[in-house]
Amino acid sequence: MPSSLTEKQILRNAVLAKRDALTPDFRDKAARTIAENYADDLNIQSGQVVSGFWPIRSEIDPRPVLNMFRERGALICLPVILNKTQICFRFWQEDQALVPCGFGTMAPDQTAPTLRPDVMLMPLAGFDKSGHRLGYGAGYYDRYISNLHNQGHFPELIGFAFSCQELPSVPDEQHDVPLEKIVTENGLRFF
């Protein structure tokens, strides 16, 4: 196993411990702050397909922002783990019942249409000032985005996190796809 994977795991453990230490009240306020203060800056248009995620463990909750985008006419989808290497994104309607889909996440069931995101709000363990994203290590998003790029589709990639998840540097590998933006409770940054 390359040493960069070991380094990534060490960084992942450290930054997730910081995130886990945030109080539930802080997490709720941060999610509302992003929705109230920075959602407009993301420039989501009516008709765009926006992927979000169902928050697990101590992740920031994107649902307040996703609900705002839905009200503005965006089509919202959530990731679904299909197998050990693949995900897809299924259309998520307001008040739709969700089912467990792996790793503690929830998503629409197989009757929901599969969509191809134009904008991806991406969960992450950590990020750095260059827009490199430290994921959870399974590579689902990297493979999915690479596949979209091979098809000529280039969604906008926006990290969605708490500011405490910033790292001095994230080791990047050839398959890693950098973010274009990151939004935290402290604002929106472009890379």
d(CA 70, CA 48): 10
Q: Does the pLDDT of residue 39 top 60, yes or no?
A: yes
- 12 is written with which tokens? 């992942």
Structure confidence at residue 5 as a pLDDT band (50, 70, 90): low
- What is the chain's Cα-based Rg? 16
DSSP E strand boundaries for the chain: 49-51, 75-81, 87-91, 99-100, 106-107, 119-122, 126-127, 133-134, 156-160, 181-184, 187-190
Residue 131 annotated as part of some ligand binding site = no
pLDDT in the model for residue 164: 98
Residue 12 is assigned to a ligand binding site:
yes
pLDDT tens-place string over residues 96-134: 999 998 788 899 999 999 999 999 999 999 999 999 999
Q: Does 27 carry a binding-site annotation?
A: no
The answer to whether 180 is annotated as binding is: no
What mean pLDDT is predicted for residues 75-95?
94
Measure the CA–CA gap between 156 and 148, rounded to whole angstroms. Answer: 12
Type of residue found at 158: I
191, HSE (Cβ side, Cα atoms, 13 Å): 18
Q: For 131-161, what is each residue's pLDDT tens digit?
A: 999 998 888 999 999 999 999 999 999 999 9
Determine if residue 19 is labeled as part of a ligand binding site: no
Whether 1 has a pLDDT exceeding 60, the answer reads no
- Residue 75, marked binder: no
Q: Where are the domains of the chain?
A: 3-190
- As a CATH number, domain 3-190 is 3.40.50.10420
Q: Does the annotation place 157 within a ligand binding site?
A: no
9 is in an annotated binding site: yes
pTM of the model: 0.92
Q: Is the predicted pLDDT of residue 41 greater than 70, yes or no?
A: yes
Does 97 belong to an annotated binding site?
no
Q: Is 70 annotated for ligand binding? A: no
Residue 141 marked ligand-binding: yes
What rounded mean pLDDT belongs to the chain? Answer: 93
